[in-house]
Amino acid sequence: MVTLNKTSDDVLLRAELAELQATHGKRLKVIHVTECAEGRASAAMLKKLLPAPKGKVLVMVCGRKEMTEAIAGAKNKDFTQGEVGGILKQLGYSSDQVWKV
């Protein structure tokens, strides 16, 4: 799991995510990325942090509309998923591998 935040103070559910990682460390790895320390999310950064776009991988994206669109593309006007776009499209992810929350 990768969280993207402006500052480390903006990370939601930090304690709960740490507990989940401690309990399920073989299946869950939590990585907190902050814009202040690492800069804005880029294709190079996400390629390094996310699993490759093959098989049964699922990338879930939630956040401000502008951030979601930059990472995964816009939802349709009726709020259905729409085509994958943004950085995840550049990296080769398909619409069935990306879910916009």
The tens digit of pLDDT for each residue in 11-53 reads 999 999 999 999 998 999 999 999 888 888 999 999 999 999 9
Residue 23 and residue 61 in one domain: no
- Stretch 2-11: mean pLDDT, rounded? 92
Tokens encoding 44: 């190079």
Tokens encoding 72: 């995964």
CA separation for the pair 47, 66 (Å, rounded): 20
- Stretch 57-78: mean pLDDT, rounded? 94
Residue 15 and residue 60 in one domain: no
Q: Which of 86, 90, 52 is nearest to 72 (CA)?
A: 86
CA separation for the pair 87, 24 (Å, rounded): 29
Residue 45 lies in a domain: no
The pLDDT of residue 40 is 87
Residue 47 lies in a domain: no
Residue 86 and residue 60 in one domain: yes
User: Is this prediction's pTM over 0.95?
Assistant: no
Residue 62 lies in a domain: yes
Task: State percent of the chain over pLDDT 70.
Answer: 100
Residue 76 and residue 100 in one domain: yes
